[in-house]
Structures are given as C-alpha cells and as structure tokens.
Amino acid sequence: MSHYQVVNPATGENLDTYPTATDDQVQQAITSADNAYRQLLRTTDVAKRAALLKRVGQLHAERREELAAIIVKEMGKPIEQARGEIDFCVDIYDYYADNAETFLADEPIPSPAGGKAFIRRQALGVLIGIMPWNFPFYQVARFAGPNLVLGNTIVLKHAPQCPESALALESIFNDAGFPEGAYVNVFATNDQVADIIADPRVQGVSLTGSERAGAAVAEIAGRHLKKVVLELGGSDVFLVLDTDDIDGVVEMAVAGRLENSGQACNGSKRILVMEDIHDEFVEKFAAAMERIEPADPTDEGAALGPLSSANATETLKGQVQKALEQGAVAKVGGDDPEGNFFSPTVLTQVTPNMDVYHEELFGPVAVVYKVASAEEAVELANSSPFGLGSIVVSKDQEKALRVADQLEVGMVFINEVGGEAAELPFGGVKRSGFGRELGRFGIDEFVNKKLIRIKG
C-alpha cells in the first residue's frame, strides 16, 4: 500500500495514492541534485539565481487558487487561510530574490596586521528538506528560497499526506527555469531518508516536524557529521500582564489559538492571565471560542476547519479526555468530535501533575492559567520543555520587555498576534529545535563562510 495518499480530512474520502520511490529513484534524485549543484555554481551568479527565485514567487501568485485548493483538500485548512499561505510564500521568495546580493556580498574583516581579509559566503551542496503537512507550501518556501538563491540544491521529502503539494512545488521550480535537479521531490520512506542523510553528496538536512522526528534525524545526521536545522513543536504562551481592553485581548487570544485550526507549532496554546482579570477573561474567552464552529474548509467564511487526519483527531481527543479524568475543567468544548471536526475547547485548573501540563496540544484547545505576578508567569512559561515563541500583552512596553528577556524562547511578540514576516527570523530553543529560518539568518545556516586573507 502506498505511503503517500490524499485523504480529505473534511469528508474522510480516500482520494489519490502515490507509490513510494524505489531505491534507484532515490539515488537518481541525489545524483540529479548533485549535478545541478555543480551546474548552478558553474553557470549562474547570485543575480541569475535571484531572477529564477523571483519567477518562483510569480508562479505561486499566478497559481494561487490552484495551490490553495490543494492545501484545503490535503489537510483541511480553511480556504481563506490557504490563500494567505500562498501569499506569504510569494513574500518569502521576493524577499530573498530582492536581498540575496546584499546578504551574500563579501564581508570585510578589519585586520591590524594590514592586508585584506574577508568572508565569502558560498553554497555547501545538496540538502535534504523534510517538511510537514500543516503549512505544505510555506514551510518549503522558507527552506528552499534562501538555499536555492545561495546555490545549494534541494532534495525534498514532503509529508505523506501532501503528495499533490509536493508535485505542484516541483513543477513550479522546474517551470521557473531552475536547472533540472535543483529542486527534486522524492516520495521517500523513513529508511530511505536515513540513507539520503548518510550519502556523502548530501551536506545538510532541515526538518520541520515533531520532537520525535527531530531527535531521530539529528541522531542520524550526527553520526555522519551533517549540519542540521530543526524546527519542532511548541507550547507557546499568551501572557497577559495587564490591559484596559480585555475584549481586544480576548480577540487576540482567539486568533492566536485558532490559526490553522489550532495546528501551528507557534500557536498560543497556554494562556497566562493575571489574577485580577483572570475570571473576566476566562468568561469572555470561553464565550468567544464557543461562538466559532467548525465548518467546511471550502466555504469562503470558514474560520475553523477539520483537523488534518483521523489520527490527529484521536490523539487530541485522547489528550483532552485524559486531562478531564485527571481533574482539568472544560469551560467550553471537551466533547467528542464529529468526524475530524473538533470544537474549540478551553481547559482550566490544569496542574503540573497532569499529563496535559507538559504536552503540546495540536488543535483548537487552549489551557488558561491564573498567575499572581509576572515572576510566577515567567516560571510557569519556562516550565515547558518547549521554547519556540510567545506573546506578551501589556500597556507598559518596558515591563513587557523585562518579561520577554526572561522567557526561554526563540521569539517574543509584544502586543501582536500573527506578526511573522519574511524578514523576521523564525526558530526556537530547548526541545523546539535549533537554527533559524527566514530573515537574514535564514540564508546563513547552510553556507560555507569561507575566510579569504590577502597579505598586504
């Protein structure tokens, strides 16, 4: 049976299936990417590669409706959000195309000894990208964009439930004019991925996915001395220090929790609220969450679609049921899902002895905690094994900055939800992984920072 299959999460209908690659096809993919790497270095400069990448962005824009429809069919993202994902991809490709020459310019190093010294950034070679289902185009953009304009080439292993996204992306890079093999899709098994990482022609691996997958990939890469970038899970906090607009903060919290139907690594999964406004916040937040009902993701006005798969639904359902059995209280939701449509759920009275206190909840489930001080909030926030991002809300920017400094995360957004942008680095610490994507730092991961010294 095929490892790659499209199952519409809204209907449960089994659609198309795709066979996994043979070992020969995997070897052909690596060989093609290695040949393309040498061709890119020999026949193109940064400006040429930037022009090709610009065309990739244009093709995303031209095929926006087609690509968005694929996202909806494969993983159930509401159609307006799917279009927004494609728009973000265009921003990313444009950003790296427009800034590549600046980012990759020689970097002088002043030397008291005289002469001349500088860093020249050069590509490493073939990279493998292992991508997830929740943002099937955006995740690829932030990996492939900077690396192709740098001169690396890509072997891309997409999520098993996203084969149509995978093929559509490969077509875009080919149609944009990149040399054959510069971007190669491969429907590989996990065992074949291990072989790809081990191949001496492959110089690095980037994975966005689960903590377990990240640990497995890092172990294999470490044995073969390959550079790794990992963007893993998160249990981000939405920390409300104070506000004179609680309705506005509730609206922000709902948006932070329900993005992508709650299936975002950096979604606001733990909401920490000061005790003087906690009760009012919980009442209004629960009511606002309850008003949002799961809907057909193809509907133009849908704000919340199904979870991505039956397995995802069963996992989240089990986590919520166990939390309730262990003493958590559901202020809203907590009932059995209908198919893969999971009602928004708000849990309170969660304590450290409960499993859910330490877990990532991947779906429209929020946990609200009452805290008595900023110090208690920071301690609770940092008790998570994850350290991806966070949101801090306060009228006092200096106070918010002091709290931000103490949070063990890779990103902090103050008084803002959905602040990610092509120019802003994305990544975490602790068990959320390491390395950065997007921004200037995203092009500096898989690069040879070659020192050149000229005697004066």
Q: Which residues contact 86 (CB under 8 A, 6 or more apart)?
A: 60, 61, 64, 67, 68, 137
Is residue 231 among the annotated active site residues?
yes
Q: How far apart are CA 437 and CA 389, in angstroms?
A: 14
**C-beta separation of 404 from 448 below 8 A:** no
Report which secondary-structure segment, H or E, holds 185: strand 183-185
Determine how many CB atoms are found less than 10 A away from the CB of residue 382: 14
> Which parts of 110-150 are beta strand (E)?
116-123, 126-130
Q: How far apart are CA 453 and CA 437, in angstroms?
A: 30
Determine how many CB atoms are found less than 10 A away from the CB of residue 139: 27
Is residue 265 among the annotated active site residues?
yes
Tokens at 231, concatenated: 């963007």
Question: Which phi and psi angles does 167 have, rounded to 5°?
Answer: -70, -35
**Which one of 85, 265, 360, 437 is the catalytic residue?**
265
**C-beta separation of 93 from 144 below 8 A:** no
List the helix and strand counts (H, then E) for the chain: 14, 20
Q: How far apart are CA 436 and CA 143, in angstroms?
A: 10
Strand partners of residue 157: 130
> Which parts of 24-87 are beta strand (E)?
none
> Could you write out the three-class secondary structure of 363-422?
CCEEEEEEECCHHHHHHHHHCCCEECEEEEECCCHHHHHHHHHHCCCCEEEECCCCCCCC
Distance of alpha carbon 312 from the chain centroid: 17
**C-beta separation of 307 from 316 below 8 A:** yes
Q: How far apart are CA 343 and CA 334, in angstroms?
A: 8
Q: How far apart are CA 132 and CA 160, in angstroms?
A: 9
**Which one of 74, 164, 231, 445 is the catalytic residue?**
231
- Write out the DSSP string of 286-316: HHHHHH-----TTSTT-S----S-HHHHHHH
Q: How far apart are CA 100 and CA 121, in angstroms?
A: 11
Q: Indicate the pairing of strand 447-454 with strand 116-123.
A: antiparallel
> Which residues belong to the active site?
231, 265
